[in-house]
A and B are shown apart, each in its own frame.
Chain A
Amino acid sequence: MNRQIHQMTVLVLVMFLALAASITSVQGLSRPALWESSSEQGTLVTDPRNSRTIFAQYGTDRGQIIVGGNVIVDSQPVDDAYAYQRLYLGGQMYSHVTGYFSTAFASMTGLEQAENSVLNGDDPSLLSSRLSALVTGGSLSGGSVELTINPQIQQAAWDALDGRRGSVVALDPSTGAILAMVSSPSYDANLLASHDADAAVAAYSQLQADEANPLSNRAIAGDLYPPGSTFKILTLAAALRAGMLSPETEVAAPNSLALPGTSHELMNYAGESCGNGTVTVAYAFAESCNTPFGQMAMDLGDAALAQEAAAWGFGARMNVPLAVTPSVYPANDDTAQTAMAGIGQSSVRVTPLMMALVAATVANGGEQMSPFLVARTLDPDLNVVSTTTPSVARTPVNTQTAATLASLMTQAVAEGTGSSAQVPGVSVAGKTGTAETGSDVGGPITWFIGFAGTDPQHPSIALAVVLDGGEQTADGGTGGSVAGPIAAAVIDAAVDQ
């Protein structure tokens, strides 16, 4: 019988080898099965149904988020099932940037999500500190993230918005570092991060029911806005590129412009006249006359405008590392729509960050730097692990065109519609925008985009300010009267340091 017993022993060995292979595939390689390396939901570790991945995050001492040397998001040890409570110390003005880390919803948003691997310590760059924790037996803690945000500018923008629905985005034009990103109104991330699930759910449903939509990050991921007259910078850039004109070129500026194929007439803002009907391009830009730019757009044609928008980054995906909704220059069917698009109406739609980038590009001599929010990542002992290197995203216009646009924008603030953005002792350039929403209630969406600095050749800040239209805006408000003062307050805080 020994031969058969021997055979059975071999059979048992084969069975156990199969088991070992199966265990290894699941535990060692995260495969759902020997014959399946991953499912549609990913591997066993990345599958969103694997709540352990999020549970495990709760147990780790998550890293900090730092702004200007101050900790704005921290983890505090608590004596409950989740071991650590996330604290949002920076106040509501940072909530859209940081996002929240919620145990109640088993989810994370904002930088908590985008920088999760650093914050929870899983990032490969933190391997050495993980290894040393393993060796010394210390508990695993995550790395920290230091933001590019300047707390004074952020605070000034938040205060200037004063709870109104809108957004301010400020950049360092020479690097692309985001100096401020505010979306208003905001919410208290601490409520959503509460370990008390009922309280968190209640807070979330209340925020969701709020018609001011405080959960949406208007700066990059809210509803897109029509840019209004701020888009004229692109229209003008296209015309300069085509060699159609120079700032001194005299153009016709009638009180109304008939739009071909429609019964509509394009009027200047509030039906005003522009000069005496024939003005220089510089004047039309500074006074934001509609009719010359409508005509300019029609002369250029839709293809040239679409090409111009794409050159400045419309339609492109961006991660800062938060995902930015791409801005849109639509396909226009007829010349009337092209004329409207040329003055930032029709269905052109942008994010405030996109328009801040437009201003920054002009300020930076035509080079558009990639925007970024994370300056440095640090290991748990606050040693620098990585530093973000600024990079050029695209160069939509040459230095000469940029200089031309810059001088026109300076003129618009010095003598034109942007005068409300003037700050004593600072050279400010900009463009206002007032986009009609077509709704019956309240005022238009108002814009100011521009740049400023003590040295006109090297502006230190570029920004975009937008206020939602509708009932919250007074009828008759304009970019100059509403958005300009906010820009002035932000520039004052930025340059005053």
Chain B
Amino acid sequence: MTQVSTFKKKLRNNVTAYLFLLPTILVLGTFLFLPVFYSLYLSGHKVNLLGDVSYKWVGFNNFTRMAGDERAWIALKNTASFALFVVPLQTAFAILLAVILNAKLRFKNFFRIVFFMPTVTSSAVLSLIFMWIYNSNGLLNRVLEFVGLHGFNWLGDPAVALKAIMLMNIWSTAPFFMVVFLAALQDIPDALYESAMLDGAGGFRRFISITLPMIKPATFFTVVMGIIGTFQLFDQSYIFSAGSGGPNNSTLTVALLIYQYAFKNLDFGYASALAVMLAAVIMIVTLIQRKLFSEEKLN
């Protein structure tokens, strides 16, 4: 009797719980899991969705096709060099900003607002502002000429086009990670610094031996999120190159290539295969990082 009633109670509890979860499950299912599985399904097919819809199973053809796709390699190389350059710099820059704000400054709140501003602005708007700054007759070249350097055709020259996007990306994402570091910094007990000072450690030594190890979890988070973010770079290079990834493929990223194949060439099968490849690359890189960072136990 009691057993049945507890079972009933459990069942009722479960049903109620799932009822409440239902909307979320539906929304996540429709907009997250379904697309993921559909994309996996598409990656093994040759697909025509416009007009006469057809799916043709091609096995791993879409993946083997990548090996011979020159632009896929260029996109991967661009994306990797973007991540290699941007992630360390934005992390260092974020730590620097956080340390500055954590010091006992006057007008601290004012600076916090100013530093945080780029994060709040939409990246499309930022890209447009930066296009104006990078323009051959724009602000940046005027400043460079004023100090006696020669300017670049920032957007039209393959040699510097990607660097221009890198600079902008560092500038606009560092403040977000700054907030993460700021929170981590404020968690460090003052007592640690005091005892280190009593032992005669200078400012630099305290930074290396206390601050950096104590904010390691935050650094891990920043690097992982940074890598994911940079690997998914799309909007900035899309706007800068008007969707072409040019000049000479210099601003072509994997996400932009996926977009081009999916919506310009309507080759959804191959585009999905590229997306699966990108997801795999991000996963592998993240796992490697976890290995690297977990030498000293986290959590």
Q: State whether these chains interact.
A: no
Chain B residues packing against A (C-beta within 8 Å) = none
